Structure 1
Amino acid sequence: MTFPHLRLSANPHDRTGVRRKDQAWLDERWADPESRVLLVSGTRVRPVSGRVPWLSPQEAPEGLRVLLGEQGGRAHFAVVVPPGSVPGEKHEWFPLRGLLPHLATDGLDEAPLLFHALGLAEWLHVTRFCPRCGGALEAQASGHELVCSQCGRSQFPRTDPAVIMLVTAGEPGSPAERCLLGRQALWPEGRYSTLAGFCEPGETLEDAVRREVAEEVGIRVGEVEYFGNQPWPLPASLMIGFLGRAESTEIQVDDDEIEAARWFTREEMKAEAEAGTLALPAGVSISRSLVEHWYGDTLPGQW
């Protein structure tokens, strides 16, 4: 079974990090009409005919040039401009979440480049001043480093590790085996997903799984097994998937992050998904992959 969330990272580009400060090489590749450029307005992209558009350098406006790397023998850049500084109505520009459905159909090869570009754009957007002295920051290293104009301290892009987990109980593979899903109060009726949360300082990923599940639904988790991971720059996360085995089954939701949680057998999950009363996350998410890995097949319906 091939998981969509893994296919989103299946064709990574060469990030050519050693070239980020090589101005002669950068100028040469920028002058090459075969190079490709993604225009980013703030943290958004304007799709054309349902696809992410790539321009030649000659077509790109002035802005912060970000080197993404090389793919298919071509250099790829992003040009980041202030919001509203290029043509197009506001509703025509989409954040990464709005672009994910296009990637799931025919844009899988572009996903790593897009994740890279918009992840950096998000970081540049929110990192305006030096956290040490408050001085202005200046972009260097093709957009991958910000240097304070006053104290000289460098800032680099940050990625926040987040655990996402499917917890199961009962004899593995048996009809009675169940998996645990939860829902937030803001979600439409019937929408459920796996539990997730951020890793705290000084904490292992496995202990983050156990703590988050205990905090959110009161379930005690024992064995924790690594499943896979997915870049998730919304705005700056790496989703790290796990399978956990429950040592208790009584649910006590925290009524803060989680409104309700349920145990589902495979039969219940299939019946409710087919009836449309259970909506699971979209196919490009690692949450969907975790659920269908446990279920053993694809399921109908999604957010």
Structure 2
Amino acid sequence: MRYPHERLAANPHDRIAEHRTDDAWLAERWADPHTRVLVVSGTRIRPRDGRIDWVGPAEAPDGLRVLLGEHHGHAYFAVVVDAALSKAAQGEWTPLRGLLPYLAGEGAADVAPLVFHALGLAEWLFVTRYCPRCADPLHPRRSGHELVCGNGHTQFPRTDPAVIMIVTSGEPGSADERCLLGRQAVWPAGRYSTLAGFCEPGETLEDAVRREVREEVGVRVGAVDYFGNQPWPLPASLMLGFVAHAETTEVTVDEDEIEEARWFTRAEMREQAEAGTLVLPGGVSISRSLVEHWYGGPLPGQW
């Protein structure tokens, strides 16, 4: 079974890091009309006609050129321009979360890794202005993949590991097996999702799963099995998916991040999803993949 989140990483580009400082190669590719460019204003891009808008180099505005790599024989760049451009026309420029529907289709999903790469770097460049060691201004190099200050301190893009898990209880595969989903108070009625949280310093991923589940819903987890992962530059995360096997089932929500958490059998999940009283995560998220992995197939409805 191919899971929904895998569509966004099925055909990654070659990042060709060896060319990030090759000025002659970069100039040659920029002069090629077949090269594709994504214009990013701050951390937003502007879709056109229901699709991600890649332009030729001649159409791209001035800005920081970021080499993304090669894909299907062509070079891909992002040009990062001032955030004021998107602020002046907010309705036309969209952050990454709003772009996910544009990336869900089979054809559009082919460029999703390029979009994630571009917006992940744009977010890092947008928020990383001063050296954390000496507070001097930072300047880009290596085609936007490094920042350096006047004192020679180099900064690199960071990715924060986050765990996301479906918690199960009961004999695996049995009719009585249940999974645990939670909801936040700000979500519309009926919306539930898997639990998630960030890994803390000095913590293994498995222990992060156990801690987050205990903190959010009061359930103690024993065995933790790795499922898969998904880049999630919102703003700079790598979502690492797990199946967590519960040792206790009493639920006590923290009433901070989680308003309510419920156990569902497969029959209950199917019935409520069909009725629309249970609304499950979106189709391209690893959260959706975890739910369908546990359920054993596709389910109706999504955020």
> What is aligned with 2:102?
102
Structure 2 residue matching 1:8: 3-state secondary structure: helix
Q: Distance in 2 between matches of 1:85 and 1:230?
A: 30
> What is aligned with 1:145?
146
Q: CA-to-partner distance for each residue in 1:68-102, whole Å, 9 max, x for gaps?
A: 00011111000000123379831111011111011
> What is aligned with 2:259?
259
Q: Distance in 1 between matches of 2:257 and 2:112?
A: 30
Amino acid at match of 2:99: L
What pairs up with 1:47-196 in 2 under 5 angstroms? 47-85=47-85, 89-105=89-105, 106-149=107-150, 151-196=151-196
Q: Distance in 1 between matches of 2:36 and 2:235?
A: 24
Q: CA-to-partner distance for each residue in 1:41-68, whole Å, 9 max, x for gaps?
A: 1111111111101111111110000000
What pairs up with 1:195-206 in 2 under 5 angstroms? 195-206=195-206
Q: Distance in 2 between matches of 1:264 and 1:131?
A: 46
Task: Tell whether the 8 Å contact from 2:86 to 2:93 is kept in structure 1 after alignment.
Answer: no
Q: CA deviation at 1:262?
A: 0.4
Amino acid at match of 2:96: L
Structure 2 residue matching 1:225: 3-state secondary structure: strand
Q: CA-to-partner distance for each residue in 1:162-195, whole Å, 9 max, x for gaps?
A: 0000010011111110000001111111110000
Amino acid at match of 2:136: G
Amino acid at match of 1:143: G
Q: CA deviation at 1:32?
A: 1.0
Task: Tell whether the 8 Å contact from 1:84 to 1:90 is kept in structure 2 after alignment.
Answer: no
Q: CA-to-partner distance for each residue in 1:237-268, whole Å, 9 max, x for gaps?
A: 00000001100000011111111100000011
Structure 1 residue matching 2:104: 3-state secondary structure: helix
Q: CA-to-partner distance for each residue in 1:85-127, whole Å, 9 max, x for gaps?
A: 3798311110111110111124110100000000000000100
Structure 1 residue matching 2:187: 3-state secondary structure: coil
Task: Tell whether the 8 Å contact from 1:40 to 1:79 is kept in structure 2 after alignment.
Answer: yes
Q: Distance in 2 between matches of 1:90 and 1:255?
A: 34
Structure 2 residue matching 1:142: 3-state secondary structure: coil
Identity %, equivalent residues:
72
- Structure 1 spans left out of the alignment, 5+ residues: none
Task: Tell whether the 8 Å contact from 1:190 to 1:277 is kept in structure 2 after alignment.
Answer: yes
Q: Distance in 2 between matches of 1:129 and 1:4?
A: 38
> What is aligned with 1:301?
301
Structure 1 residue matching 2:124: 3-state secondary structure: helix
Structure 2 residue matching 1:291: 3-state secondary structure: helix
Deviation >6 Å, runs of 4+: none
> What is aligned with 1:45?
45
Structure 2 residue matching 1:92: 3-state secondary structure: coil
Q: Distance in 2 between matches of 1:265 and 1:4?
A: 21
Amino acid at match of 2:35: S
Equivalent residue pairs, number: 302
Task: Tell whether the 8 Å contact from 1:13 to 1:69 is kept in structure 2 after alignment.
Answer: yes
Q: CA deviation at 1:24?
A: 1.1
Q: Distance in 2 between matches of 1:200 and 1:254?
A: 19
The Cα RMSD (Å) is: 1.1
Structure 1 residue matching 2:9: 3-state secondary structure: coil
Task: Tell whether the 8 Å contact from 2:163 to 2:239 is kept in structure 1 after alignment.
Answer: yes
Task: Tell whether the 8 Å contact from 2:42 to 2:86 is kept in structure 1 after alignment.
Answer: no
Q: CA-to-partner distance for each residue in 1:115-164, whole Å, 9 max, x for gaps?
A: 00000000001001111111101000000000012x21000000000000
Structure 2 residue matching 1:176: 3-state secondary structure: coil
- Structure 2 spans left out of the alignment, 5+ residues: none
Q: 1:35 to 1:208 in 2, by over 3 A?
A: same
Amino acid at match of 1:146: L
